[in-house]
Amino acid sequence: MSQSKIQTLAKETIQLQAIAISSLVESINIDFEKAVDVIFNSSGRVVITGVGKSAIIAQKIVATLNSTGTPSIYMHAADAIHGDLGNIQKDDVVICISKSGTTPEIKVLVPFIQSFGNTLIAITGNLKSFLAEEANYVLDTHVEKEACPNNLAPTTSTTAQLVMGDALAIALLNLRGFSSSDFARYHPGGALGKALYLRVSDVTKHNQKPQVSIDASLRDIIIEISEKMLGVAAVIENDKIVGIITDGDLRRMLKNNTDVSQLKAKDIMSKNPKTISNDAMAIDAMEILETNDISQVISEENGKYAGVVHIHNLVKEGII
């Protein structure tokens, strides 16, 4: 197969799926609205089940719902009829995902869910199927054609299921007033979460506080920067930050001066350094570093020197 043919097939696959997803807009109806409402008002969880590729999609939707404030669990349809039905509690809402809506496991499972009295939501591509007819609410994920050239392998259909699940999650997220701080609470270990909760003070408290007086000698400056290992020292006068000296400032000073014996911090420092509040978000510190193409930024607390945020700190925390 030629390289151009491979690219053509890939583009056709993406275009076919894009068209199918766009068509899903027409499937959002009163059943979708009622499904969202019943989940939102439920005191239980969402139990999502399926078989085959639909089961994999079910797991992803469960993960999305859990991370956006809707407690959910996954239950494989085949395992359900061999003991896992015990996962379903009386107040739970059950979502069953199946392209055909007629698989043997689904036909066995659905009557048991109905006997428990749980609300059943179907995500299916066949509105005339057993599942669609038995469910309380039906979310239509019909697609005209799979991306598979044989129209067999679940491709476009599973993408449609996934997008419908995302639509549910986002609708519920908005109803709950789920905020960025809520997101951070559920994602404390990831870079996304850290970007939403990590503050400058969380970084500076682990760093030393290199500082020199305005009349400090070159020797004292070099020792302070070297010992504190942040490549910088704040210049302090009357408890106020009046300047900053970096490794780069030292190199430029040595290049431009033949006699450095009498130089003081005030002769070397850069005035009006970039600063940030110690209570600010660490991601804001990152923006300052990137915008100004610098490696460190000084933090302040109540107008006083609080510490240093180095770009390496943000890399270590996963912010960058």
Tokens of 275: 């600063």
Do β-strands 46-50 and 211-213 pair in parallel, antiparallel, or remain unpaired?
unpaired
| Residue among 319, 222, 315, 308 nearest 273 (CA) | 308
- 3-state SS, residue 240: strand
The 10 Å Cβ neighbour count of residue 158 is: 24
Q: Give me the residues paired with residue 298 across strands.
A: 275, 308
Please say whether the structural domain 3-178 has been given the CATH code 3.40.50.10490.
yes
What's residue 184's pLDDT? 66
Task: List alpha helices for 177-217, DSSP H.
Answer: 180-186, 191-197, 200-204
CA dihedral 181, 183, 184, 189 (to 10 degrees): 170
DSSP secondary structure, 272-294, as one string: S--EEETTSBHHHHHHHHHHHT-
Equal fold, 3-178 vs 197-317: no
Q: Is the dihedral of CA 23, 26, 31, 33 positive or negative?
A: positive
CATH topology for 197-317 is CBS-domain (3.10.580)
| Residue among 161, 112, 162, 157 nearest 134 (CA) | 112
Where the chain has pLDDT below 50, the residues are none
Cα within 13 Å of Cα(241), Cβ side: 28
Tokens of 186: 């559920």
Q: Is the dihedral of CA 286, 292, 296, 299 positive or negative?
A: negative
What's residue 179's pLDDT? 77
| Residue among 230, 238, 252 nearest 298 (CA) | 230
User: How is the chain split into domains, by residue range?
Assistant: 3-178, 197-317
- Residue 142 labeled ligand binder: no
What's residue 244's pLDDT? 93
